[in-house]
Each structure stands twice: as structure tokens, then as C-alpha cells.
Amino acid sequence: LQEGVEENIRFARLIDEAKKATSEPYLVEAHIGAHAPFTVPDAGLEMLREAVKATGRGLHIHAAEDLYDVSYSHHWYGKDLLARLAQFDLIDSKTLVAHGLYLSKDDITLLNQRDAFLVHNARSNMNNHVGYNHHLSDIRNLALGTDGIGSDMFEEMKFAFFKHRDAGGPLWPDSFAKALTNGNELMSRNFGAKFGLLEAGYKADLTICDYNSPTPLLADNIAGHIAFGMGSGSVHSVMVNGVMVYEDRQFNFDCDSIYAQARKAAASMWRRMDALA
């Protein structure tokens, strides 16, 4: 655990050094990451508190993804999950809590009062068969994530909406479009810059879609178009900080060599995992 926390600190400081070394905008930031609270003893939470304080970063942690996380905290510590983290000053406006399916009402109140974020990972939850988060409408700062199940936020929003409706939830596509765009607020809090609007002073991050809409496309119904119509296949071009990184459906770098290296790395990892069995 200590080695993992130290790795987090080193990475954050590498970013700090890189920022000082150049005037060019830096496109990478760090959070202090930990796995689920049931894997982190109080001594580990103290390490995380010191790491957050020393680096000025927020905490990124998966919590209440499964009921076991909650029952473990109650059994061994006599506390709700986030109440235990808050005891170590780990819940604030830079905190990112992933999943949160089984957070108590008190934990949700704490999350909202501290202005922290909950990131909902619909496809990952379905894949891991952990259940459903029935409290999404109670979350003040709700964003969407993938938890590594693909890198397609269009699909993530669709799954989040349809799974919610299947579970009898009251929310409509506009609520999940808001959760999707809330990622800009997460970026702002961690990069110290403005994201998400086409206005002076905001970062020039744009996704341009080629979407032949069968019905009028309006500000009032764009969430419905994302849920029922457009997808990642609609993306024509992408600009990051004023630089086109994907244009006319083509990347400006060699994808084939990257995929070739990825296949070799995956095969190597599989061999190492087999050796552990």
C-alpha cells in the first residue's frame, strides 16, 4: 500500500515539474488513487491524507461498488464508508467517488455537502453484476465514467439512461447529458482552467459530429438525439486545446503501430498472469 501511495506522489510531482519546465499547456493531471475502502486500513487512509495534502490533489476511490464494501466498513470500523473517509479529510470538492451503488443516505448527504463528485459507471456495474444505483437523482455532482469498459462516452450515456429506465428510474436523457457534460467541471477543478463552453477564456476542446438528424436538432432535445440517435461513429473531428487530434475521421498519428505494441503487451501480461496461477 505504501509503495502505491508513493507512486501516486511521484507521478503528481512529475506533472508539477513538467509544468514548470515549459509554457506549453500540459494535458495530463493526477489524482491520488486508492482501491475500495475495504482494502485500505486506517493507516492507509492516513497515508492518503498526507499524499492529498502534500500534492494538492484530490482523492479518486471506488466505494460501495458492492455491498461487501459497506458491510466490511460497518463490521470493522463501525462507520459508513464516506464517513470513515471524511474522518481522514478525504472528502472535498476534488474528491471523485466511483460507483457508490450502496452509499447510505447519510453518506450521500455528506458527499453533497462536501461538493464532491460521484462518477456513475453503468456498463462496468452491469458487467460486474453488482446491482444498480437507485440514488442517482439524489447526487448533487453526478458524472459518467467507463471504469475501463471501453472508452466511448456516447455509449456510456446511452447505457446509463437505458439501464436507469429499465430499473424504473424517473430521469430522462437530459439528466444524463448533464452528467456527461459535468465532466467539464471535474476537469476545471483539477486543471484550474475553464472547459465546456464556446466562449473566450475557455479551453478550445471540441468534438465535431457529422450527424444527419431525421428530426430537428435543438438545444432542448439534443440529449434525446444522443440517447436515441448519434454515437461515437458520428464523430468527424476532435480538437484538444486548439489542436486537431482527429480530423475527417483520421488520427494524426500511426494507430497501427500502437495497436501492434498493445497486442504484444497484452500477450506478455497474460503470460505473467498465467504464471501466477
Enumerate the domain spans of the chain: 2-195
pLDDT at 88 over 90: yes
pLDDT at 23 over 90: no
pLDDT at 25 over 80: no
* Cβ within 8 Å of residue 235, ≥6 positions away: 207, 208, 209, 210, 246, 249
Q: What is the pLDDT of residue 24?
A: 78
Per residue in 146-186, pLDDT (tens digit) is: 999 989 999 999 999 999 999 999 999 999 999 999 999 99
Q: What is the pLDDT of residue 26?
A: 83
pLDDT at 43 over 80: yes
Q: What is the pLDDT of residue 53?
A: 98
Identify each DSSP E strand in 76-231 by its residue range. 96-99, 117-120, 142-144, 206-209
Q: Are 214 and 229 in contact (CB under 8 A)?
A: yes
Average pLDDT of 191-219? 95
Pairing label, strands 96-99, 117-120:
parallel
Q: What is the pLDDT of residue 54?
A: 98
Average pLDDT of 14-25? 89
Q: pLDDT averaged over the chain?
A: 96
In three-state secondary structure terms, 33 is strand
- CA 220 from centroid of its chain's CA atoms: 26
Q: What is the pLDDT of residue 92?
A: 98
pLDDT at 143 over 90: yes
Measured CA to CA, the distance from residue 150 to residue 146 in angstroms comes to: 7
Q: What is the pLDDT of residue 150?
A: 87
Closest CA to 238 of 225, 226, 251: 251
Closest CA to 12 of 79, 57, 78, 76: 57
Is residue 205 very low, low, confident or very high in pLDDT (cuts 50, 70, 90)?
Answer: very high
Say which CATH topology domain 2-195 has: TIM Barrel (3.20.20)
Taking the CB of residue 35, how many other CB atoms lie within 10 A of it? 14
Q: What is the pLDDT of residue 277?
A: 78
pTM: 0.94
Measured CA to CA, the distance from residue 248 to residue 240 in angstroms comes to: 15
Q: How far is CA 267 from CA 103, 150, 151, 262, in A?
A: 38, 19, 21, 9
Is residue 210 very low, low, confident or very high in pLDDT (cuts 50, 70, 90)?
Answer: very high
